[in-house]
Amino acid sequence: MMNYDHHRQRLPKSKAYTINWYSFQTLLLLLGFLCVVAAGVVLRSARSVVMPLVIAWLFSFIFKPAIHKLEEKRIPRGLAVSLLLTLFFIICLLVFAILYRQLLPFVNAFPGYYSRLINIIEEVGQRTDLPTDFLVELNLGRRLTSLLFALPGKTISLVSSFFLIIVFLVFILLGTPAFAEKLKRAFSTTTAERAQQIINDISRQIGRYLFTTVIISASTGLAVWAALVVIGVDFAVNWGVLAFILNFIPYIGSFLASIPPILVAIVKFYPDLKPAITTSITLLLIQVSIGNFLAPKVVGDALNINPIVVLLSLLFWGWLWGGVGAVLAVPIAVIIKIICENIPILRPIAIFMESR
């Protein structure tokens, strides 16, 4: 300690200040890195509770505008929340029931489809001398079969998570007015009004983005379902739902959603490959028309995100929460960008997140 003080006395004040400033910055970077790692560990270990909370928080931005409209018609907030969540609960239960009935036949039929696909691959390999043995040796059928047969058993955990989401939604939606009152009591009138204005702007932009994204994904799913029904591909409802879910994952989501129906078309209509080709072209046209024309016009500049940021978000949230995290990765990244755009001190982060 004495040697350090003696050496510091010999340095000019400007140099000593520079050394201390760089040391402080390095310390801040290390602390920030440790905080990110600790937050990641906590989010990963507590994902069974944190993940429903995040989903409920995202849903709250969609429900808030409807609740405000009901309040304008002099309907109490508690009654408005109860009506909307009851309707949402009934619709989700009906969807779950329909999907469960559609999933069971596909799970039972999957081993036959997979064995037929392997036979087609072996036949093509013998005719064309293509190296198809590695596809057979991968033995993906056993892994996928075990995964599919485990899906109906996970329905209970899915329903329990859904109930937890509803509970979180109730507390979030009912607690919004109380937070506004606490904001007024905690800060001055000017600061509270400015903070409330920023919060309202953020909520309005996030709600508009999430609502339009859900509508676009639903339109994609319906278009895929209708097209596959016309072509005659089996389990068209399942592939429509898959397209709806994976549409939240940019770049690779639409590609992954197109693979299963194309393979089913090949298995069903082989050796006639025209239906499979028609399925491929139709799915490509749906994804290109909706993804490249409809989505930018409806969502607007909210999707103006650097592809590197999207990739890092997919890797991070996919590592934390698996497939659900990958679906939520881009909406969370867009929300972070919207928040940073509305807070002056965080605006440089939003600029670095932009693609242009």
Distances (CA, A) of 291 to 217, 300, 348: 10, 12, 28
**CA atoms of 300 and 213, how far apart (whole Å):** 11
Mean predicted lDDT score pLDDT of the chain: 77
Residues of the chain with pLDDT > 90: what percent?
1
Angle between helices 47-72 and 155-186 (to 10 degrees): 60
Please give the structure tokens belonging to residue 352: 């670095």
Distances (CA, A) of 153 to 57, 146, 209, 252: 27, 11, 34, 28
Task: Please report the pLDDT score of residue 143 as a whole number.
Answer: 67
Residue 151 has pLDDT above 70, yes or no: no
Q: Taking a C-beta distance cutoff of 8 angstroms, is the pair 319, 194 a contact?
A: no
Residue 161 has pLDDT above 50, yes or no: yes
Q: Quick one: which of 165, 194, 199 has its CA closest to 179?
A: 199
Task: Please report the pLDDT score of residue 2 as a whole number.
Answer: 45
* Structural Rg of the chain based on CA atoms: 26
Please give the structure tokens belonging to residue 69: 């409209």
Kindly report which listed range (88-102, 253-267, 299-313) carries the lowest average pLDDT score: 299-313
Polymer length in residues for the chain: 356
Residue 257 is inside which H or E element, if any?
helix 253-269
**CA atoms of 278 and 310, how far apart (whole Å):** 31
**CA atoms of 245 and 239, how far apart (whole Å):** 10
233 vs 301, residue with greater confidence: 233
- Across residues 96-111, what is the average pLDDT? 79
Task: Please report the pLDDT score of residue 328 as a whole number.
Answer: 80
**CA atoms of 205 and 28, how far apart (whole Å):** 32
Residue 1 has pLDDT above 50, yes or no: no
**CA atoms of 307 and 77, how far apart (whole Å):** 40
CB within 8 A of 85, min separation 6: which ones? 63, 166, 169, 170, 173
Determine the residue type at 246.
L
Phi/psi class of residue 300: alpha, beta or left (left: φ > 0; alpha: ψ in -120 to 50)? Answer: left
- Across residues 133-148, what is the average pLDDT? 64
Would you call 129 exposed, middle or buried from its count of C-beta atoms within 10 A (0-12, 13-18, 19+)?
A: exposed
pLDDT tier, 11 (very low <50, low <70, confident <90, very high otherwise): very low
* Domain segments of the chain as ranges: 48-186, 204-298, 304-356
DSSP secondary structure code for residue 161 in this structure: H
Task: Please report the pLDDT score of residue 226 as a whole number.
Answer: 92
For residue range 199-242, list pLDDT tens digits in order.
777 777 777 777 877 888 888 889 999 999 998 888 888 888 88
Strands (E), 118-215: none
- Across residues 137-166, what is the average pLDDT? 70
Q: Quick one: which of 288, 293, 230, 281 has its CA closest to 254?
A: 288
For residue range 120-132, list pLDDT tens digits in order.
777 777 777 666 6
HSE at residue 216, side-chain half, CA atoms within 13 A, is 27
Residue 265 has pLDDT above 80, yes or no: yes
Q: Taking a C-beta distance cutoff of 8 angstroms, is the pair 242, 260 a contact?
A: yes
- Across residues 257-271, what is the average pLDDT? 86
Determine the residue type at 266.
I
Determine the residue type at 169.
L
